[in-house]
Amino acid sequence: MSTAVSGTTSPNDPLLAPRVHEVTAMIDEIPDVVTIRCAPIDGPPSPFQAGQIGMVGAFGVGEAAISISSPVSEPRFHEYTIRRAGSITTALTRMRPGDQFWVRGPFGKPWNLDLDGRDILIAAGGIGLAPLRSAVYEVLKHRERYGDVTLVVGARSSALLLYSNEYEMWREHGLAVFDTIDEPEPGWSGRVGFVNEAVAALDVAGPATSALMCGPDIMMELTAQRLISADVSPDHIQLTLERNMQCGNGLCGHCQLGPLIICRDGPVVRYPSVAESLMVKEL
Amino acid sequence: MTLAQRWAGVDPGSVSSEPAAEWWLMRAGDLHRLVSLLTVEFDEVFGPVAVDGVIRVRQIHSLADLPIGVTEEQETASYRLHETGTALRFSYGLGPDSLKSIVHPPRSPVWTMRRQDGSLVVDPALHGTTTRAVIGARACDIRALEILERTQTGGPHADPAFTARRSELFVVAIDCTHPAPTCFCKTAGQGPAADQGFDLAVTELDDPNGVVYLVRAGTDRGRSMMFALHLGYAPPRQIERRTRALEEANRDFIRELPNDASDVVRQTDHPQWEVVAERCLTCGNCTAVCPTCFCTDMEDRVGLDGETATRTRVWDTCFSQEYSHLGPGPHRASTAARYRQWLSHKLGTWHDQFGESGCVGCGRCITWCPVGIDLTAEIESLSLDPLSRPSEEMP
């Protein structure tokens, strides 16, 4: 039956107690996408693991679940990369340095980066690179632990390649970056095609490879199929999912995907746990 | 020191699956004394109250608040109260409210946030030490309370508001001797008699010498209350009458939940989803009256002065488009997808998420659906092989 606990809430309960943060910088990324660099006003940023989400809230407007995109090892601030879509993200992306907002969390299951000795393939579509960026930095920090580490990032056009000013630095630190755009465009001499096509062009060492993915459901589905046909174990494909999240603690029901409650069982999940669900429209 | 303070430290004890050895006998006057004691010992006491032609769960202050001599008729999309002229106080089936409205209320404050000296300040809502008791809980609703509890306290962070309301709730169960035709607890859950999860459980029996109430205790604090009332034990004859009354109540359930319901509802491509979507209004009545539907939304409202904002946790429904809203729009735009989400979660994926079914067979969703959708009939339709169904065009 019930477990008796104190009748009063702890002020530290993450469900209730947001930490007020202050914007230290607003960084324009690609059109309609802004990175908020921020720190709590009451102490150092909360520790987190790559892939975890914060419930990021604008005063009187509401919250959105946003992945923390900054390096795990960065002690001074967190970064949230946000696309302007509805009223909440519009309010958040309009903030200026010095403005305050709140964050609850971090919540959810992170990327599993205990992949010593394995090749890592990171596949990102569009703004899907944001939840992967902290993993990129974590992998590069411990680069010697892994075999080949490759990033395939795709966008509709070159102007929509997220964090593109960081690719060169990532390459210098041992990440093979393959960027690709959907349609040819003047002045672009790089790859053209979808992420799954760019992945298909790689020489993936199947059984030794672990994949991390984020992007539109269809991109992840096609990329996963491509990887599996290259002998990557489905269990070694991790992906992160976006659904409507209200509580971040598995209490409110909104972010269900079939058997999963994404904020509790994810956002990072292994491909086999969602392979069937992703095939069902409107599940 | 009030008794409530005294009991606050008493270990509720393990809940026995066997009824306690003692059976006490109460008459109407004793029931009056029990309710009075509850109102003295607990800050808030809830019970059945007839309002607006419906039996609701409301705060009560004396036995006089409870309905007397009324019963109800209910069927798909229909609920009517009738006077019976008897002195019975519990001879009716379930109304729309369950224990959910007590432990997981429709609106629950989360915090107030204000601007002060150029900074945001958060005042979390504190969940005080209000003690609560409820009289009239049915077995199905006690079972539903356990299911609801698992959803709200079983994860990485238990909801403190739920915990505060649930952990000390004193439950007086009423054995269900008048299940409604919409009920199917026999195949879905627990009932019609409560066999666990209560502090006290009461069976109401009509008797030539006036109505009698047989009481048993499920916890030490329930037992203490019986001793405090100085009640006599029930004669074996009355206990036999109770057994017969419950056997009678347990006999004729028209509806049932088949054993394979959790598989049947997982057929995501079954054409029946489109069929039921033609009738479903997506009003959310079923989720509001369901004793285990727990979904909530966070409502943020800013004051007119722009200086304060309040956050409230409010009931939500998977039947709304907003429920699954994501950047580009609702993820479950169609009625079929939303009805499928509700039923396949309730009976199917609830097992994956919480290790049990989310349905206790109370039948409320059948009674309160304005277009009379009956989930047991839907399961039956989903059980049919879509390819073997006769065409509607055939003579």
- Give the minimum alpha-carbon distance from B366 to chain A in angstroms, rounded to a whole number: 22
Assess B8–A contact: CB distance below 8 Å, yes or no.
no
Assess A47–B contact: CB distance below 8 Å, yes or no.
no
- Taking residues B30-37, what's their average pLDDT? 97
Could you tell me which residue, B200 or B129, shows the higher pLDDT? B200
**Equal CATH topology for A19-107 and A119-240:** no
Assess A18–B contact: CB distance below 8 Å, yes or no.
yes
pTM for the whole structure: 0.90
For residue A243, which residues of chain B lie inside 8 Å, CB to CB?
324, 326, 331
d(CA A29, CA A35): 7
- Nearest residue, CB atoms, B349 vs list A246, A251, A258: A258
Assess B85–A contact: CB distance below 8 Å, yes or no.
no
ipTM, two decimals, is 0.89
Assess B119–A contact: CB distance below 8 Å, yes or no.
yes
Assess B153–A contact: CB distance below 8 Å, yes or no.
yes
d(CA B395, CA B391): 9
pLDDT at residue number B118: 86
Residue A282: closest C-alpha in chain B: B332
Assess A11–B contact: CB distance below 8 Å, yes or no.
yes
d(CA B313, CA B276): 30
pLDDT at residue number A8: 38
CA atoms within 13 A on the CB side of A225: 11
User: CA triplet B199, B204, B210: central angle to 5 degrees?
Assistant: 135
Q: What is the DSSP letter of B322?
A: G
A254–B167 C-beta distance less than 8 A? no
Are A207 and A233 contacting, i.e. CB atoms less than 8 angstroms apart?
Answer: yes
pLDDT at residue number A204: 85
- Give the minimum alpha-carbon distance from A139 to chain B in angstroms, rounded to a whole number: 27
Please list the residues that pair with B313 across neighbouring strands: B108, B298
pLDDT per position in chain A (283 positions), as tens? 333 333 334 445 656 679 999 999 999 999 999 999 999 999 999 999 999 999 999 998 999 999 999 999 999 999 999 999 889 999 999 999 999 999 999 999 999 999 999 999 999 999 999 999 999 999 999 999 999 999 999 999 999 999 999 999 999 999 999 999 999 999 999 999 999 999 999 988 889 999 999 999 889 999 999 999 999 999 999 999 988 888 888 999 999 999 999 999 999 999 999 999 988 999 9
For residue A16, which residues of chain B lie inside 8 Å, CB to CB?
110-111, 124-125, 160
- Give the minimum alpha-carbon distance from B372 to chain A in angstroms, rounded to a whole number: 25
May I ask the CATH architecture of the domain A119-240?
Answer: 3-Layer(aba) Sandwich (3.40)
For residue B163, which residues of chain A lie inside 8 Å, CB to CB?
2-3, 5, 7
Mean pLDDT of chain B: 90
B127–A3 C-beta distance less than 8 A? no
pLDDT at residue number B4: 52
d(CA B3, CA A112): 53
CA-wise closest residue to B141 among B315, B14, B289? B289
Residues near A258 by beta carbon (within 8 Å), at least 6 away in sequence: A274, A276, A277, A280, A283, B349, B352
B323–A59 C-beta distance less than 8 A? no
Bridge pairing between strands A209-214 and A78-83 = unpaired
B227-270 per-position pLDDT tens digit: 999 999 999 999 999 999 999 888 878 999 999 999 999 999 99
Chain B interface mutation, best of A3, A6, A9, highest count of B Cβ atoms under 10 Å: A9
Assess A96–B contact: CB distance below 8 Å, yes or no.
no
Q: Specify the fold of A19-107.
A: Elongation Factor Tu (Ef-tu); domain 3 (2.40.30)
Residue B328: closest C-alpha in chain A: A85
Assess A86–B contact: CB distance below 8 Å, yes or no.
yes
Could you tell me which residue, A250 or B293, shows the higher pLDDT? B293
pLDDT at residue number A14: 58
A281–B167 C-beta distance less than 8 A? no
Assess B30–A contact: CB distance below 8 Å, yes or no.
no
- The ranges assigned to domains in chain A are 19-107, 119-240
Please list the residues that pair with A192 across neighbouring strands: A181
Assess B4–A contact: CB distance below 8 Å, yes or no.
no
- The ranges assigned to domains in chain B are 3-249, 261-385
A86–B157 C-beta distance less than 8 A? no
Are A118 and A72 contacting, i.e. CB atoms less than 8 angstroms apart?
Answer: no
